[in-house]
Each structure stands twice: as C-alpha cells, then as structure tokens.
Amino acid sequence: FASSLAGFIEEPERKYCFECDSEEQCQEWVEALKRASYEFMRRSLIFYRNEIQKMTGKDPLEQYGISEEARFQLAAPK
C-alpha cells in the first residue's frame, strides 16, 4: 500500500510517498502526520498568545470568547 501526500508549505512542489505493509498501517501513518501537524500549530498558537499577552497585558483570544478553552492552554506540569 502506498499513500502520496502533498508537499509541505516550504516546498509545495515536493511530494512524499510512504509505503506500508497494509492499508491499516497506511491509515495509521496518515493520522499520525495529521496529529503532528495539529499539535505543532497548537503549540505555536499558545506560544504567540503568551508573547502577545506579555507585550500588551491582554489575552488576544479573549475578544473571540475562547480564551478559557482547554485546547488553548498549556498542559499542567506532571
């Protein structure tokens, strides 16, 4: 089984081909890549949110009514 994925933002013309032993394994790879991308964007949002709050004293998400949503919070230290 093989799955072609579109290129990354930095290299939109470049393509990647992943080969797996089963369709199930192929789907697991696709889902893992999607989760990794989401987590990267989430961490970036949290970082810049905190930087803006330090500079302005205001939460930039507050105006959208989502500042308290758990998905935009840093994970509690373990």
Residue 31 lies in a domain: yes
Residue type, 14: R
| Count of beta carbons in the 10 Å neighbourhood of residue 40 | 10
Is there a domain that residue 73 lies in? no
Structure tokens, 8: 């990354």
Q: Tokens standing for 36?
A: 């990794």
Q: According to the model, what pLDDT value does residue 32 have?
A: 86
Query: CB of 20 within 8 A of CB of 30?
Result: no
Residues in the chain: 78
Within a domain: 10: no
Residue 69, in any domain of the structure: no
| In a domain? residue 29 | yes
- pLDDT band for 39, please (50, 70, 90 cuts): confident
Q: Tell me the pLDDT band of 77, cut-offs 50, 70 and 90.
A: very low
Q: State the residue range of the domain holding 27.
A: 23-62
The pLDDT tens digits of the residues spanning 48-70 come to: 999 999 999 998 888 888 877 77
Tell whether the torsion through CA atoms of 50, 42, 62 and 70 is positive or negative.
Answer: negative
